[in-house]
Amino acid sequence: MDISTAGIKEYVRSRGIDLVGVADAGKLLLADPPRPATNLMPAAKSVIVMAVAHSLGAVYAPHIMLWTRNKMQTSRLLDQVAEEVGRALENKGFLTLPVSADKPVEIFKLNHGTGKNSGRPAYSDIFP
């Protein structure tokens, strides 16, 4: 894989991904409330964003279980390609953080008394 924006996009599309883009990690806002990707990985410079279309047959299927299976398959493909790209980049000396296509990166447990997160510590608490 050529380690350039064009090379990464070409590789990702060759693995079955329909859409791929590369964004500035400091400007790409994620989650609710919006915050930059650098909140998850402060050293990040760029973020690779990927998408796969669901099968239209599954989307319009009369039973949600058919769509759910298709969603699981597309998420699995996205996760697999994210891991492959991450490993290839790390083999070239880059630090990567592949994230799940359909699982939350952060889980908050709101303490109703203080209004603050009482769940797991933030990345910045662990790696200042």
Could you read off the pLDDT tens digit of each residue along the chain, which spans 128 residues?
A: 788 899 999 999 999 999 999 988 888 776 666 777 888 888 888 999 999 988 888 888 888 888 888 888 999 999 999 999 999 999 999 999 898 887 766 655 666 677 666 655 555 555 55
Domain carrying residue 43: 5-126
Q: What is the C-alpha separation between 40 and 82, in angstroms, rounded?
A: 16
Q: What is the total count of domains within the chain? A: 1
pTM: 0.75
Other C-beta atoms closer than 10 Å to the C-beta of 78 total 22
Which long-range CB contacts under 8 A does 75-79 form with residues at least 24 apart? 75/100, 75/101, 75/102, 77/15, 77/16, 77/17, 77/52, 78/17, 78/50, 78/51, 78/52
